[in-house]
Amino acid sequence: MKIVFDQQVFLLQKYGGISRYICSLAQSLSGIPDVNVKVIAPLHHNYYLRKPLMKKIAWGIWVPSVNRTHRFVNYLSKLVADLFIRVLSPQVVHETYFSSIGSACLGEKRVVTVYDMIHEKFPDSFLNSHLTTELKRQTFKRADHIICISENTRKDLIDIFDIEEKKTSVVYLGCDFLEPKASVNPKFELVVTTKPYLLFVGSRGGYKNAEKLITAYAQSEYLSKNYLLVFFGGGSFNDNENSHVSNLGLDEEKIIQIDGDDGDLAYMYKMAAVFVYPSLYEGFGIPPLEAMSLACPVACSNTSSIPEVVGDAAELFSPDNTDEIIHSIMNIVSSNERKVDLVRKGLERCKLFSWDRCAKETHNIYKELL
């Protein structure tokens, strides 16, 4: 079976969840007998494609930042990709993002993965979200099959875009198990040794709901006195965030923002008292699984796909309710028995989400289309 992943996402992301998913899926598919996988990205600036494991299955040239010439570079990359796809003549073309015009296709089956309905659920969080919605609509119309990364995402897809259920399947993502660095950066070690901490990871704005977590932290005298609140990634706090912290009367030294790589993140997961995930909506939600894999207990939202992913291996709360957020965190930090139970369940839970499983289930979908 010949499978090709097209070029789209690799000019949109240097790093990122979608391009990591495509590369992890392609690598695992390449290990299945009688499967020939190619990632065609003639011009790209994606770092995952530069990894040694991708060199055998990916074709393209890395280019530096293309902000000023993006439209031309994107056009040229698509033109060359279409030519290569015609020459390769694959049986399946798996589109890596949403576009008005698909890759050149001469009878091949088209597959696309949908990750979430965030643009449709939270349009005010994005510029021109209606344009993304229209590109999705055109992509779904020409696709022979649509893979959803959770049952909740499939439900939202069917409800919002009026897609027939038989045209969809659910395939869960795999979880990349992060490795802490052998040598710890002093700035991270300083945070860890100062005081126990609650950990939040990633971007903070809009539906990510970090503001509500800060409010809950401020409202709990016990948590704000005995724990730091650490935000990993997402960049420095902006003026609105700083004002929010100040208005709550919080000591700024208790709210810490730090950035680092995957090795640093793994260390912070491993040493955290609780990983807190207050997001209002997720198509899947990788961070809770990352935390679980490093024996970090998890407290997270009970909305969208999140309960589907974490099962009974996390404390759940309503992300709109600060009392529930506090209660869930307190259930963990006040009970060593509960913490041990969640860590045990979490270590088992994250084993269910492997890239080999993702690849096998995706491969079965391809076979059913042919």
3-state per-residue secondary structure call for 153-169 = HHHHHHHHHCCCHHHEE
d(CA 11, CA 71): 10
When pLDDT is averaged across residues 91-97 and rounded to a whole number, the result is 96
SS3 for 183?
Answer: coil
Tokens of 59: 């074709």
pLDDT band at 66 (very low <50, low <70, confident <90, very high): low
pLDDT band at 274 (very low <50, low <70, confident <90, very high): very high
The answer to whether the 2-174+354-369 and 186-352 domains have the same CATH topology is: yes
CATH of 186-352, picked from 3.40.50.2000, 2.60.120.620, 3.40.630.40, 3.30.390.30, is 3.40.50.2000
pTM: 0.91
Lowest mean pLDDT, pick from 124-133, 179-188, 339-348? 179-188
**Taking 70 as the threshold, does the pLDDT of residue 345 lie above it?**
yes
When pLDDT is averaged across residues 311-323 and rounded to a whole number, the result is 98
User: pLDDT tens, 212-221?
Assistant: 999 999 999 9
Tokens of 50: 């530069």
Tokens of 359: 């690849």
CB 264 within 8 A of CB 185: yes
Residue at token pair 């990871």:
201
User: pLDDT tens, 185-219?
Assistant: 888 888 888 899 999 999 999 999 999 999 999 99
Sheet of strand 168-170, all strands in order from the earlier edge strand to the far edge: 58-62, 36-44, 2-5, 92-95, 109-114, 145-148, 168-170
**Taking 90 as the threshold, does the pLDDT of residue 52 lie above it?**
no
Residue boundaries of the structural domains of the chain: 2-174+354-369, 186-352
Tokens of 126: 């994005």
pLDDT band at 67 (very low <50, low <70, confident <90, very high): low
d(CA 361, CA 273): 35
Q: What is the pLDDT of residue 192?
A: 85
The topology under which CATH files domain 2-174+354-369 is Rossmann fold (3.40.50)
pLDDT band at 177 (very low <50, low <70, confident <90, very high): confident
pLDDT band at 104 (very low <50, low <70, confident <90, very high): low
When pLDDT is averaged across residues 248-265 and rounded to a whole number, the result is 91
Q: Kindly give the residue spans of alpha helices, DSSP state H, lying in the chain.
A: 17-29, 70-88, 118-121, 129-142, 151-161, 186-194, 210-219, 221-226, 239-247, 262-271, 287-293, 306-310, 322-333, 336-349, 355-369
The DSSP secondary structure of 98-124, one letter per residue, reads --SS----SS-EEEEEE---HHHH-GG
- Host H or E run for residue 257: strand 255-258
Closest CA to 255 of 221, 285, 231, 288: 231
d(CA 255, CA 253): 6
Q: What is the pLDDT of residue 74?
A: 84
